[in-house]
Every structure is written in C-alpha cells, then in structure tokens.
C-alpha cells in the first residue's frame, strides 16, 4: 500500500515517426540533414559504463517506495564546453562546433547544460549518431534567466551536439554540458517495444495500470478543454510528477503552473511535456514534441502540499494549451474529476461521482476521495489537478492508496491538497494580480469574455478598450501599487525589533519589541516526502512550517522572530514511521541563542512538544526608548518597562511651576499663580511674585499732607505750609496740587490733622 503519489514510473511510449522531437525549438536542422553520404567531423567522448546489476538491485527497492522518483537514467557529471572540448570547423559560411558522447549500452541519452547563453544567429542541435532524429534548433530565444537549459531525451546510445555561429557572432556564445544522463531503462519506447509489451500485458495502457482510462475515451468527452492544461514533468534521469497550467484574473496567459509541494526539487531543470496523450481510447503512444524547458518556483507550502511555478516560456500557440480555471471558495463540490499522468504514462482521467470531503493528513489540509468510480491515480500522478463539477481546479494530488487491482479499481482512497487553503498561503498574489477578490475564475482562453475589463476611469487598472465591466477594477494601495494589498511597503520599521524590515516604509504594527530568534533544523530520513512540521503559538496561529521535502539525508533550517512565550512544535510523518531510525538517521531540533529547546526524531505518525523562549541571554533587558523617563542606554532588548510619568512636569523655566528635575513636559506649565508686582518701590509690591504682571503703582501709598514725611500730620506740617503761604510756583508744600499754596491747602491739612499715614 502507498499513501503518496511519488513513486515516479515513466514510460513515454513515443513512436519516432518524424525526424524531430522538440522542446520549444525554432526551426532549422543540423548541417546536411538527410544526406546519407555526409560525414560530420567531431570529437567523441567515451562515457563510463554503468553497473546494471547494481542499479537493478537499487531499483528493486526504490521502485516500491512512494518518495523515490522512478529512475530511468544515471546522471554523470562532466564539464565540457566550447573551449575545452569538441571540434570546430567552418562549413557553409558558419563556424560549427561538434562534440559526441558515447554511453555504452544506453537506451537513451539526455543532457543538462549548466551554461546556455547564445547570441543572435546561433543555433544548437542534438542528434543521434544514426542521424535519424534530432532536437532543435535552440537559439537565443531559449536563453533563460538562470543561463542554463535542460535538453529532452533521444533514443540511442551515441549523441552529437552541433552548434552553429555566424562569423558576426563567433566567440560570443557560451555552452557547457554539466550532466550526461545515461538512460538504462526505457523512457521513449520504440513501436516494436510497445507492441511486444501489449502482447504480455493484460491491460492496453502502456506503463500504467490496466484500469486507467485514456483522457480521449468517451468518458473524457466533456473534459477536452481542461485536459489541455495538464502536463507531465520529467527531471534529469527521473520521471517526476504531473501539474497543470492555471489561469489568473488578468486573463493574460502568464504560464503559471500548479503542482504538488512534495514534487519540488529544481523546477528550472525540469522538462514539461504537454499533450502527451493518445488520440484514441485504446492507443498506447502519444506525442512528446510539445514541451517547455525550465521554470521558476514562485511559492510552495506543505499546509496544502502545493507549489506554483512560472514556466520559463509560455507554450506556443501550436501547443493549443488551456489555462485552467479555479475555485478557492472552499465550497464542497458535488463530484470531482482528476486528469493526470500515472506512472509517467499517457494522459488519463478518473471520476469521483460522490462529494469529496475536507480532512487533514501529513500536516496538510486536503479533499478526501473515498473511492474513484472510474479510473484511479498512481505514482507519477502527484500534483495533478482535481476539478469540481464546474470544471474548475479545487486541489492537486498529494497522496493516497488508490491503484488498479488487475483491470479494476482497488477501491482505495486518494487525497488532494485544497486549493482554498493554498490561496491563503501565497497563491492569491499571483493568481489574483488585480486583487479582484473573486472566488472563482473560468479557464483561458476558451472561457474568456471578449471585451471584458475595468470600465471605471478612476480605477488604476482602467481599460479604455473594455466594453463590459468584469468586476476587476481596483485602486492603488498605500504603497502606490495598483491593486496591491499594501504589503510591498508595510512591515516592522523599528530597527531594534528582530523582525525589522529595512524595506518597509509604513509600520504595520507587527514589530516584536521583545523578540527572540528561534531556529528549526531538520535532517531528513530516506523518505523526506513523508515529513511535515509546524510551530504554533498559544492561540494556534502558525509561526513557521515546512515539508514535505525532496532530498533525503539533507539538513534544512528555518527561523522566525517570536515574542517571549510558549509554543508547540508538531512534526508529522505521513507513513507512520517517524524520521529515525528504521529508514535513515533523521532528527530535528529547535534552538535559540545556542540553546537546544527541543530535539527528537523517533516517533510514529506525529509528535507535539511544547517549548518556551525568554530573552536572549546575551541581551541586556531594559527600557530602550530614549524618550522615556527610565531609558537605559545599556539595554539591548526592550523589556516593556518604559514609563513617562515619573520625570514628567513643567520644563519651562519661566513658568510659575517650573520643575528643574522634569525631563518630559506634561503640559502643566502656568504663569498666573506667581504673577504680581515685583518692584519693591511700588505701593503694591509682592515679595512672593516671580513674574511681573504690570500691576505696579506708586500713588496709593503716598500720605497727602505729611509734608515732613514723619508719618503723622501734625503742627509741624502746618508750619511748613504757612512758611510758603502765597507761593505761586515751584511750591514744595502744595497739598492740593494746584501749584499754589493758599487757604485751600491749609484747610485740607487741618481736615487731616492728626492722621497717621
């Protein structure tokens, strides 16, 4: 029994009825192709033979396990390039470089090029020594961002690379072969091999089980549009998985390709074969001349076992592909259909007439298929799309036990990673670039609405040529990105936080002030595709996660900045044998500041361990806010103790309530309680006043009639007035202030006689 569709068996079953088989090639042919008398000049590299007996023993084991790709070839490492090997000639006005490879007893040969950078007017071809089949031409249009190229398989044991450069471009190209794949098991069947196999087999379907149904059988009549999205994946010396082109809300044919996370290795070295199917219901061969080399991994996650890739080139119009629609609502479908390449065979179809239901397994959220009514899946079907009754993708194959039992279904289950979960794990940013928020999308180009677009002239994606609005109108986000979610410029802007984002210009409140880095490390066992894990906080929110993995015996690490507190780490093994020690010496651990918080590896299906993190020991906790009262310049991590009250007060030195000890002004300053007359000579002088309010006066305190200033009006004062009686100007005893000393002054003085001033 198996529970994951990644035992990768591949038998492409091609009949060489034409002279060329191709990836995206650009016409032309090797020099003098078809001329039986032509003898090209080339250097031949003799490759080492392979130990078929040892390989057979290994394959007898790995062919039984779901995680191991079905190996058809041995990848031999080399380093041959235009400068250190090969033969240059000048023929028919071109510089021609050739290099031959002889792989003793090989059934087929293919190549990996670690360098492929071609100038204009340059072409590369690959052909067999018999000059009966070739690949190419590969030109400047095949140049990749990663400057490499994977070449497809040719049947035979001896191959020649032939490279043409014009005089104008001579010396500008770069080609280096880093792998020669010696195929010791059949990948592209001869017609006679297929016919011979059919005699021995009970079923008619190439290399997959006899209960499988060709996609072009009558049962698949309603799925002829969707089938054109599905492709077979081949990597180096192994057949791999299945996947599908998937549409996006821009309906622009961007070559997004959905497959399973557990299939992921190095997508830029994969070859994606489209339309590998029989044209009839009973056929056992199909074309392999419609492929794309290489792709870039955009996002992957074990939470739904999905991976989204962007192919290096959009399949040309001649491939007649379809970009499948999708539904991320999570609504339960009434039925489901799978389209796939079981064991690398021709394209097949299977039917679930009942409603799948939601479940979880191996750390992933899945759609569960109890039993297929028609057809099954097999190893190699992994990553293939699951369609609902509306012909929209709702998931991709993760695993299961369904298989043929002779010529009938064995009645076992399958499970698919749920697309609605994948949507929230990163798929949405690529498949809804306009941020429309729609739950469903139909396929492209068959179901695209002509003239549909955004008709709102105020929207940032306004389409003046649109004749009907498709609900795609969006505005710029806070970062100025049309239809963006604000994530391109938001994040933690506090450089003291362990999750500080130097590219963020707007703080989103995510800063973890008392953050600690925790590191998850895992050494995979022999079956890494079984392993997934996650770290969750007290609320159940996932902090980080990983797996399934593609490489056995390999160390992987992940890290996250977390707040001090307690967390759970859960590790799962979908086969139920842990990661140590029956099938490899796997282990895992969580560390922080050099301290091991969790370690393990011996468990059955799942293991959950609680751990707690505190401030890093090398850090000095304290208040790191320089504006706070208790700021600690020696603190390296904020402990949440900052306060701004103990040092608050009036910092205005001119205010009545100025506090010389205050370093933070609390707005309490006032200038009234200490205001008054500060002139000591004034009648209303206030000794307690520190702020002069302009109220000083000098008259209310003068005693009229006290001529001699002794504080009492007496006879002495009367005598002084009488001494100046009759004075008309400059009089010093003028009591009433009229400038004269006369009877009125005497009368005033007598009226106040005896008064104490």
CA distances from 492 to 135, 146, 519 (A): 51, 32, 20
Backbone φ, ψ for residue 642 (5° rounding): -55, 135
8 Å CB contact between 381 and 259: no
**Residues sharing a CB contact under 8 Å with residue 221, sequence separation 6 or more, in sequence order:** none
The structure tokens 């009648």 sit at 683
C-alpha–C-alpha distance, residues 559 and 345, integer Å = 40
CA dihedral (679, 685, 691, 697) in degrees, to 10, reads: -70
pLDDT of residue 189: 44
3-state secondary structure 590-628: EEECCEEEEEECCCCCEEEEEEEECCCCCCCEECCCCCC
Reported as half-sphere exposure (CB side, CA atoms, 13 A), residue 413 has a value of: 14
8 Å CB contact between 650 and 669: yes
Backbone φ, ψ for residue 417 (5° rounding): -60, 135
Query: Residue 313 catalytic?
Result: no
Pairing mode, strands 664-665 and 648-649: parallel
The structure tokens 């994948």 sit at 422
In sequence order, the β-bridge partners of residue 408 are 405
pLDDT of residue 547: 81
| Active-site residue, from 155, 305, 573, 625 | 305
Vertex 301 angle, CA 298 and 303, to 5°: 155
Query: Residue 382 catalytic?
Result: yes
Angle formed by the axes of helices 715-723 and 743-751, to 10°?
Answer: 170
3-state secondary structure 700-751: CCCCCCCCCCCCECCHHHHHHHHHCCCCCCCCCCCCCCCCCCCHHHHHHHHH
DSSP class per residue in 158-209? EEEEEEEE-TTTTT--EEEEEEEEEE-S-SS--HHHHHHHHHH-SSSSTTS-
Per-10-residue mean pLDDT of the chain, 757 residues long, equals 34 32 66 92 95 88 55 90 96 96 94 94 94 91 87 91 95 96 69 38 50 95 97 79 95 96 87 91 82 92 93 92 97 97 90 94 89 92 96 95 89 94 94 90 88 88 86 84 80 86 87 87 89 90 84 91 91 88 94 93 94 72 87 79 91 92 92 91 87 84 78 88 89 87 87 81
C-alpha–C-alpha distance, residues 127 and 116, integer Å = 18
What tokens were used for 373? 């009514």
8 Å CB contact between 598 and 612: no
C-alpha–C-alpha distance, residues 292 and 316, integer Å = 9
C-alpha–C-alpha distance, residues 732 and 129, integer Å = 141
Vertex 95 angle, CA 90 and 96, to 5°: 90
C-alpha–C-alpha distance, residues 359 and 266, integer Å = 29
CA distances from 377 to 167, 343, 366, 384 (A): 53, 9, 16, 9
C-alpha–C-alpha distance, residues 206 and 362, integer Å = 32
Q: Which helix (H) or strand (E) holds 409?
A: strand 408-409
CA dihedral (169, 170, 174, 180) in degrees, to 10, reads: 120
Give all domains of the chain, ordered by start, each with its CATH number. Answer: 44-183 (2.60.120), 197-441 (2.40.10.10), 516-613 (2.60.60), 712-756 (no CATH)
C-alpha–C-alpha distance, residues 375 and 403, integer Å = 9
pLDDT of residue 265: 80
DSSP class per residue in 206-240? TTS-TT-EETTSGGGGGGTTGGGGEEEEEETTEEE
Q: Which of 423, 457, 225, 188 is nearest to 322 (CA)?
A: 225
* Total-model pTM: 0.57
| Active-site residue, from 25, 382, 472, 545 | 382
8 Å CB contact between 178 and 185: no
- Number of other CB atoms surrounding residue 657 within 10 Å: 14
| Active-site residue, from 65, 95, 182, 262 | 262
Query: Residue 736 catalytic?
Result: no
Q: Which of 73, 188, 75 is nearest to 133 (CA)?
A: 188
Vertex 662 angle, CA 656 and 664, to 5°: 110
Strands (E), 547-682: 555-563, 565-573, 580-581, 584-585, 587-592, 595-600, 606-613, 621-622, 637-638, 648-649, 664-665, 675-676
DSSP class per residue in 121-168? T-EEEEEETTSS-EEEEE-GGG--TTS-EEEEEEESSEEEEEEEE-TT
What tokens were used for 272? 């994606």
């Amino acid at each position: 029994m198996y529970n994951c569709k990644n035992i990768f068996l591949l038998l492409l079953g091609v009949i060489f009825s034409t002279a060329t088989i191709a990836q995206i090639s650009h016409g032309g042919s090797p020099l003098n192709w078809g001329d039986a008398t032509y003898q090209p000049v080339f250097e031949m590299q003799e490759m080492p033979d392979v130990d078929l007996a040892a390989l057979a023993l290994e394959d007898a084991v790995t062919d039984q396990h779901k995680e191991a790709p079905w190996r058809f070839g041995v990848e031999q490492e080399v380093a041959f390039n235009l400068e250190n090997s090969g033969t240059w000639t000048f023929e028919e006005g071109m510089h021609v470089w050739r290099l031959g490879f002889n792989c003793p007893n090989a059934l087929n040969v293919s190549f990996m090029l670690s360098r492929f950078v071609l100038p204009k007017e340059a072409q590369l071809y690959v052909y067999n020594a018999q000059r009966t089949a070739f690949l190419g031409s590969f030109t400047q249009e095949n140049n990749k961002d990663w400057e490499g190229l994977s070449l497809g398989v040719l049947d035979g044991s001896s191959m020649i690379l032939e490279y043409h450069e014009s005089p104008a471009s001579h010396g500008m190209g770069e080609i280096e072969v880093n792998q020669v794949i010696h195929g010791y098991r059949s990948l592209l069947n001869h017609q006679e091999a297929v016919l011979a196999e059919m005699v021995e087999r009970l079923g008619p379907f190439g290399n997959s089980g006899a209960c499988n149904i060709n996609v072009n059988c009558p049962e698949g009549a309603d799925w002829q549009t969707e089938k054109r999205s599905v492709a077979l994946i081949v990597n180096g010396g192994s057949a791999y998985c299945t996947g599908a082109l998937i549409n996006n809300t821009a309906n622009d044919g961007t070559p997004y390709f959905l497959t399973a996370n557990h299939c992921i290795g190095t997508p830029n070295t994969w070859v994606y074969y489209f339309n590998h199917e029989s044209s009839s219901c009973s056929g056992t061969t199909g074309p392999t001349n419609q492929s794309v080399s290489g792709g870039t991994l955009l996002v992957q996650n074990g939470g739904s076992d999905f991976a989204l890739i962007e192919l290096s080139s959009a399949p040309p119009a001649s491939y007649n592909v379809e970009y499948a629609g999708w539904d991320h609502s999570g609504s339960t479908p009434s039925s489901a259909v799978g389209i796939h390449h079981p064991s690398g065979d021709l394209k097949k179809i299977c039917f679930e007439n009942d409603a799948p239901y939601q479940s979880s397994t191996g750390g992933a959220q899945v759609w569960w298929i109890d039993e297929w009514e028609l057809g099954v899946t097999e190893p190699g079907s992994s990553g293939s799309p699951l369609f609902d009754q509306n012909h929209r993708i709702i998931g991709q194959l993760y695993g299961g036990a369904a298989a043929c039992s002779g010529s009938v279904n064995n009645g076992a289950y399958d499970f698919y990673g749920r697309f609605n979960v994948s949507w929230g794990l990163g798929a949405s940013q690529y498949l809804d670039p306009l941020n429309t928020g729609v739950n469903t999308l139909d396929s492209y180009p068959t179901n695209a609405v002509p003239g549909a677009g955004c008709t709102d002239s105020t929207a940032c994606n306004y389409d003046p040529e649109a004749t009907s609005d498709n609900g795609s109108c969006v505005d710029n986000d806070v970062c100025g990105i049309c239809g963006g979610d604000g994530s391109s410029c938001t994040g933690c802007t506090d450089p003291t936080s362990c999750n500080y984002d130097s590219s963020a210009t707007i703080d989103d409140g995510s800063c973890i002030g008392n953050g600690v880095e925790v590191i998850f490390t895992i050494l995979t066992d022999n079956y890494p595709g079984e392993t997934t894990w996650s770290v969750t906080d007290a609320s159940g929110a996932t902090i980080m996660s990983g797996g399934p993995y593609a490489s056995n015996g390999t160390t992987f690490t992940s890290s996250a900045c977390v707040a001090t507190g307690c967390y759970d780490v859960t590790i799962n093994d979908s086969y139920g044998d842990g990661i140590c020690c029956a099938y490899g010496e796997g282990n895992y651990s969580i560390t922080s500041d050099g301290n091991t918080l969790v370690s393990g590896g011996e468990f059955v299906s799942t293991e959950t361990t609680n751990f707690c993190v505190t401030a890093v020991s090398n850090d000095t906790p304290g208040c790191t806010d320089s504006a706070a009262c208790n700021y600690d310049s020696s603190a390296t991590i904020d402990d949440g103790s900052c306060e701004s009250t103990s040092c608050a007060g009036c910092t205005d030195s001119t205010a009545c309530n100025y506090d010389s000890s205050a370093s933070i002004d609390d707005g309490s300053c006032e200038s009234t309680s200490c205001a008054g007359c500060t002139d000591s000579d004034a009648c209303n002088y206030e000794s307690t006043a520190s702020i002069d309010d302009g109220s000083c006066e000098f008259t209310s305190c003068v005693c009229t009639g006290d001529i001699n200033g002794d504080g009492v009006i007496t006879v002495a004062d009367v005598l002084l007035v009488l001494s100046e009686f009759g004075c008309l100007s400059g009089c010093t005893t003028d009591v009433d202030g009229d400038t004269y000393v006369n009877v009125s002054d005497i009368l005033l003085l007598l009226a106040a006689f005896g008064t104490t001033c």
